[in-house]
Structure 1
Amino acid sequence: MTSRPVRSILFVPGDSERKIARSAESGTDAVIFDMEDSVHPDRKAAARDITAAALATPLPARRFVRVNSLESGYFEADIAILAAAPPEVVMLPKCGSLDDIRVASDAMAAAGLPAETVRLLPVATETARAVRNLMRSDWSHPRLYGLTWGAEDISADIGAFANRVEGRYEGVFALARDLCLLAAREAGVLAFDTAFTDVRDLDGCRAEATAAYRAGFDGKLAIHPAQVSAINEAFTPSEAQVDWARRVIAALDASGEGVALLDGRMIDMPHQRNAERILRAVEPSGN
């Protein structure tokens, strides 16, 4: 798998050749061809054909696909078209448990998509069942690439009329976001923040992406090309952060004791882990 980090993941309707072509100019780290919510039921077959063709075409960005959910009636047909030109990652919407991950992984294996090269990115908070399962079980799985979350579907599932107050998630939605991050870290995989839905408010998108990076997320979903640069900027460490990270690693390596002094302050293993996270964002890694 390519070593470039994934800060931004741009959704593109899988049935729109024009928007797929435009996505190549966005600067996104990954394009996700969407065969689920952005595609009308009458266009599902067309989306499979267009997505299959797009997967076989070189792109500057990494190629992901969002299939339809396990219970949708479209999942098996979606998976079947991926074998000819497999994506790096399959996003599984409305994933409610580790059992759903296992079912999807088995279906992918049966369709000729090896776990080593085609990974899973579940959307892990779109139902009350999913959020409760994030609280009480470990979602680790060999095919898991990362976890992400969504606020719109769970709003409908629990009967909420809004998921934000004064621009901030609250209640169940803040809990779902935090649980997604914690579950990803428990599983040892990446965590991606949900999309910022107001495509006109780029300052708001930038602020939310910056907060997500500060909280520990590895990247963020985008629903419009205009959001990509703000997200990439937010998830790119500053020169000062990179310099600090390199000095932390060097100081701890030189001490040989797990603790060291840096600029008069004691540093130890938690500082090293944060330093390593910063460096993973700017230096080659396996993700």
Structure 2
Amino acid sequence: MRSLLFVPGDSARKFTRACESAADALILDLEDSVAAEAKETARRETGTMLQAPRGRQKLFVRANAFDTGLAAADLAAVMPHAPDGIALPKCDGPDQVRRLGHMLDAFEAAHGLAAGSTQILAIVTETAGSLFGLGSYRDCSPRLWGMMWGAEDLAASLGATTNREGGALLSPYRLARDLCLAGAAAAGVVAVDTVATTIDDLDAVAQEARAARRDGFLAKGIIHPKHAELVNAAFRPSEDEIAWAQRIAQAFGSGANLGVMKIDGQMIDKPHLTAAERILASLGTG
């Protein structure tokens, strides 16, 4: 999954449009995009969306944060319909992932779903306190698929007036981005870049996505269907990259356990092999 499109959980019209997009996954949102008085309606609508015929897209649901008191009701409404995953907002640390994992254990058992089949995407930088535990997610739950960072709620938590100037992230948010990337790598899960909020500036969206892939992110959240193909293209290896990766893999495959070798005039060692294997593995995602 490279592109994860947020869809308001109370909008059947936007869900239909999202299903026609190039997004690899949809995140049906019960949190920020749904007004307080519409939460129950959104749960019912999201349940209906989950019952639609499944295509190639994965369907996640973003529940409300634990501190709202709404998360259990959200899960009770959607888990009978077997979402592919749950996005956990305002995640303060690995204990919340464990808590969600235990709840999913119970819901899966109650509804006859395969144990462990529901993945978790933790949104891990939306509170000030969350930044201090981003290196501690390893082994917190086998369900944890990815860690995503976010800047909008973090700005509110910090009491900031903005998170960008001239289109560039300010220092606290670059820190959050980098810590999420490092934390996901340490945990062995997918690092997911935050959404681009410039809906109509497609060049900015593409630039953000290319920068994310360059730095090591493997996916990006999006808020509009027209962003999906831009993000997919940014995360798709070029022909030159694929050819390089194939040469590295082939050389190490016939290298009689050599630790270092010279390829195209450059010293190549095991970290390069890891990068090559990552490129080749990504070909299966399109």
1:1-287 matches, cutoff 5 A: 6-58=1-53, 59-112=55-108, 116-134=116-134, 137-140=136-139, 141-256=141-256, 257-283=258-284
The CA deviation string for residues 129-161 of structure 1, in whole angstroms up to 9 with x for no partner, is 1012225x3443222111001000010011111
Gaps (5+ residues) in structure 1?
1-5
1:3 aligns to what? none
1:83 deviates by 2.7
SS at match of 2:162: coil
1:114 deviates by 5.6
Write the distance in 2 (CA, Å) between the matches of 1:132 and 1:103. 19
The CA deviation string for residues 197-235 of structure 1, in whole angstroms up to 9 with x for no partner, is 010111000001000000000010000111111111100
Contact 2:9/2:30 (8 A) holds in 1 = yes
1:262 deviates by 1.3
SS at match of 1:255: coil
Write the distance in 1 (CA, Å) between the matches of 2:203 and 2:114. 40
Contact 1:35/1:44 (8 A) holds in 2 = yes
Counterpart AA for 2:41:
A
Contact 2:25/2:58 (8 A) holds in 1 = yes
Which of 1 and 2 has higher RCO (CA within 8 Å, sep 6+)?
1
1:166 deviates by 2.2
Write the distance in 1 (CA, Å) between the matches of 2:37 and 2:284. 44
Counterpart AA for 1:104:
L
Counterpart AA for 1:148:
M
1:54 deviates by 1.0
Write the distance in 2 (CA, Å) between the matches of 1:252 and 1:132. 39
Alpha-carbon RMSD: 1.5
> What is the number of equivalent residue pairs in this alignment?
279
Write the distance in 2 (CA, Å) between the matches of 1:115 and 1:186. 25
1:55 deviates by 1.0
Counterpart AA for 1:27:
A
Q: Which moved more, 1:106-115 or 1:254-263?
A: 106-115
TM-score (norm 2): 0.94
Write the distance in 1 (CA, Å) between the matches of 2:206 and 2:184. 23
1:101 deviates by 1.0
1:115 deviates by 5.7
TM-score (norm 1): 0.93
More helix by share: 2
Gaps (5+ residues) in structure 2?
none
Write the distance in 2 (CA, Å) between the matches of 1:183 and 1:115. 26
Counterpart AA for 1:81:
A
Contact 1:70/1:104 (8 A) holds in 2 = no
1:284 deviates by 6.2
Contact 2:105/2:116 (8 A) holds in 1 = no
